[in-house]
A and B are shown apart, each in its own frame.
Chain A
């Protein structure tokens, strides 16, 4: 059950039961999961529900527009990310579902502010990795 190593600028793990998340990204969709038994929704997606202990999940779309909750523009990066500096990490809220990711570099520093309206967009990286980022809604 490999495939998750394709997610992100740099991957730290390859195996998960929710690696269909990567296939969804390849179809240009950002998805979370929803428990069929109790209706709990999850982003990041989970294979198992800690609410009712069920493992029957369906995929749901995370759709915008969302709002920026917080962000930081980093000038130093951990090993493996040095070439990306500077970049902006962000937490956004999409109708009650929170999503962590990077803010598009197309959004100027001056216009970045908490509560600004955003949507998620899939990004295919030159080295074959796939991820998502937040762009202006």
Chain B
């Protein structure tokens, strides 16, 4: 377990349905919070990595305008993209730049302003984040792809729509407490079960909302972290993996291979096992995604994930608290900002600064951030 690279600052804008400002102003909200959290100034930053899914941006090459607005010229900046996992891919790149000795302090800024285009257009563009030759011509979209995984999970393991609804009930319980979440109302079990069908078996409350938002993570070398941070949070393990974008190339749809492989790599690098994780943030863009994550991360055996939520084991006080900030289901999912928001939550947990959602004595936390429908998988293990 090496402690070579740390996170010394985290920030996040509120996630909202429609941000009344430009992308540079949205980015600044997360940036200011992370810079104040780290207690540093722009001159300390050696490089910035800007993470977003470019299909939503009217501004071409947004890294340039964002680095300018954040006052980060003449330091290097560039874009990183892996759709919904862009900002954890940015963290992977930032880690590499610091570990190599190229830079000491790197800023990772994730953002997305999804409200600039309509929801139908957004689904069409997201659908083109899958295979445009062989799948999109049938009318695909993200809920449909995850719905096919849900149907396959049900058929393989006997999981049910109620199991998925229980995950949404948990998300809403914690979402109410998160002042930066887009959805802060209680969702009762019957509300989730009786909601309108979007793509069977996924109903309205099984799906997260599009949102506008930004996140910012500041990473530092061991020497700078020890000198600058009161409570550095160390990157113990990083795992990344991919799977066939086209569904025909996958062995099975009852889990995400990219997540399973990424988790194995992250656990091996950190030298820990699933039982060592005290708190986790998983990519619950849909309820089924959280259910599959329980199994792909090893919190439950294959097909046994539903037992965790049925027994309440993923609530605070359970075996493995998951998404105690409300998850994407409550916070909303501003594509490029999401991974950074998950990391921020775990950093606050490990510092003991998570307030009402604090998991007592959390020492090791995990982030699972997925790009596309199981195309790109990033798992990060953090420790204090």
Contact = CB atoms under 8 A, between A and B. Distances in A.
A70 B139 contact: no
A98 B248 contact: yes
Interface of A: 4, 7-13, 16, 43-44, 69-82, 84, 87, 89-91, 97-102, 114-115, 131
B138 A78 contact: no
A131 B128 CA distance: 18
A9 B200 contact: no
Contacts of B136: 8, 10, 12
B197 interface: yes
A72 B248 contact: no
Contacts of A90: 148
B138 A72 contact: no
Contacts of B139: 9-10, 74, 77-78, 80-81, 84, 87, 89, 102
Nearest to A113: B155
Nearest to B150: A72
B248 A100 contact: yes
A20 B200 CA distance: 34
Contacts of B134: 44, 100
B133 A71 contact: no
Contacts of A76: 123, 141, 143, 198-199
A121 B197 CA distance: 28
A79 B123 contact: yes
Residue among A4, A12, A70 with max Cβ neighbours from chain B (10 Å): A70
Interface residues of B, number: 41
A70 B149 contact: yes
A90 B197 CA distance: 17
B132 interface: yes
A80 B124 CA distance: 8
Contact of B141 (A8, A44, A74): A74
A101 B132 contact: no
24 contacts: A4-B133, A7-B137, A10-B137, A43-B248, A44-B248, A70-B152, A72-B147, A73-B199, A73-B200, A74-B143, A74-B198, A75-B196, A77-B139, A78-B120, A78-B124, A78-B139, A79-B121, A79-B123, A89-B140, A91-B253, A100-B135, A101-B138, A114-B155, A131-B137
Given A9-B138, A44-B133, A79 B124 contact: yes
Given A79-B123, A131-B137, A72 B247 contact: no
B127 interface: yes
Contacts of B243: none
B120 to A, nearest CB: 5
B148 A70 contact: yes
Interface of B: 118, 120-121, 123-124, 126-128, 131-141, 143-144, 147-152, 155, 196-202, 246-250, 253
A99 B249 CA distance: 9
Nearest to A91: B247
A81 B249 CA distance: 25
Q: Which residue among A11, A16, A71 has the maximum number of chain B CB atoms within 10 Å of its CB? A: A71
Contact of B137 (A9, A75, A77, A98): A9
B199 A69 contact: no
Nearest to B128: A12
Contacts of A91: 148, 247-248, 253
Contacts of A81: 139
Contacts of B123: 76-79
Contacts of A69: 152, 253
B136 to A, nearest CB: 5
Contacts of A87: 139
A72 B132 contact: no
A40 to B, nearest CB: 12
A102 B120 CA distance: 20
B268 to A, nearest CB: 27
Contacts of A115: 155
Q: Which 4 A-B pairs have the closest CB atoms?
A: A8-B137, A81-B139, A72-B147, A78-B124
B141 A72 contact: no
Contact of B253 (A70, A75, A80): A70
A79 B249 CA distance: 26
